[in-house]
Amino acid sequence: MAEIEEDAIFTIVTLDERDERLARLLGIFEERGIPWLEGRNDCFTDEELESSRLLVMSYDINATVFGGPRMGTTYDMTEACKRCGAGARQTSAMIIDVEDLHKLEGRRAATTPYDDVLVDEKLAAVLAESGATGLSFRGVFSAFEKRGHIQLPWRQLCATHTMPRMSPRSTGIFPYKPCPCGRSSFTGQTEIPLRLAYRAADIAGISDVNVTWEWFGEVKFNGDVNDSVLAAPYFLVTPKVWRIFRDAGVTGFDWIPIRVIDE
């Protein structure tokens, strides 16, 4: 079965690597001079997700709303790296662009380009009532030019627990533009599936909601947060959180089990 997602800029076609149509499709691209990017990702059954200690909660590319530092969201940079901003601590509600409000219609969850996770009020209430540990919430506002900030019926998910450094045996990531702090500018490798690994001792005290010590994505930081592009940590959640999103009918996120390594 092929999955096709269309965008104003590109089209995403998802096929099993064993599907005979894949070779034919790439042949057509090459014959007609059509440029393409090829990425590889693992797929998991519900049973595999259920049995994992932690899951990487990969953002929903189909419902990304622009928000964060350049929209007026504020951060405490006291303990952040002075060169890349890794470790910045959010201090205000999440502010998103009013022009992206239509992207929230009909959805239960969304993300920002900085991997901030947003959920509607009903889903936030279910998460709160579940007793999920390591979880807190912030308000979500939209920035109107003349009316100021208007609160939306959405909440931002925040993690209170930061994981230790991941195991060096993690694969599918590399330091894109490494910072001397060693914490930021990691990115994925399209040809290698993302597989994060942690030592058994590092997950002994995990919460239901956690973030990685490492920050992923491009960085453009000159000391002025309001004019910055910051990297962001990945969310790591237990199957308990995954089940809540699944039962709420949330689609679009990728859930990737971590590997537990004995070292």
> How many domains would you assign to the chain?
2
Least confident interval from 63-67, 123-127, 158-162: 63-67
Quick one: pLDDT at residue 60? 60
- Banded pLDDT at 183 (limits 50, 70, 90): very high
**Do 103 and 10 have their domain in common?**
no
Quick one: pLDDT at residue 146? 63
The amino acid at 111: T
**Do 110 and 235 have their domain in common?**
yes
In a domain, 228, yes or no: yes
Segment 173-200 shows an average pLDDT of 85
The range of the structural domain enclosing residue 212 comes to 46-261
- Banded pLDDT at 72 (limits 50, 70, 90): confident
Asked whether the predicted pLDDT for residue 17 surpasses 80, the reply is: no
**CA-based nearest residue to 177, from 146, 135, 230, 218:** 218
CA dihedral angle for residue 145, residue 61, residue 56, residue 221, rounded to 10 degrees: -50
**Do 9 and 96 have their domain in common?**
no
In a domain, 39, yes or no: no
Q: List the beta strands (DSSP E) in 20-168.
A: 55-58, 75-76, 89-90, 94-97, 109-111, 117-120, 135-144, 148-159
**Higher-confidence position of 10 and 115:** 115
In a domain, 243, yes or no: yes
pTM above 0.75, yes or no: yes
Least confident interval from 66-70, 132-136, 188-192, 247-251: 188-192
In a domain, 54, yes or no: yes
**Higher-confidence position of 237 and 228:** 237
Contact 208, 240 (CB under 8 A): yes
Asked whether the predicted pLDDT for residue 216 surpasses 60, the reply is: yes
**Do 151 and 102 have their domain in common?**
yes
pLDDT in tens, 30-44: 888 888 777 677 788
Contact 221, 228 (CB under 8 A): yes
**Do 99 and 225 have their domain in common?**
yes
**Do 108 and 167 have their domain in common?**
yes
Give the residue carrying structure tokens 């096709």: 4
In a domain, 213, yes or no: yes
**CA-based nearest residue to 112, from 61, 152, 155, 75:** 61
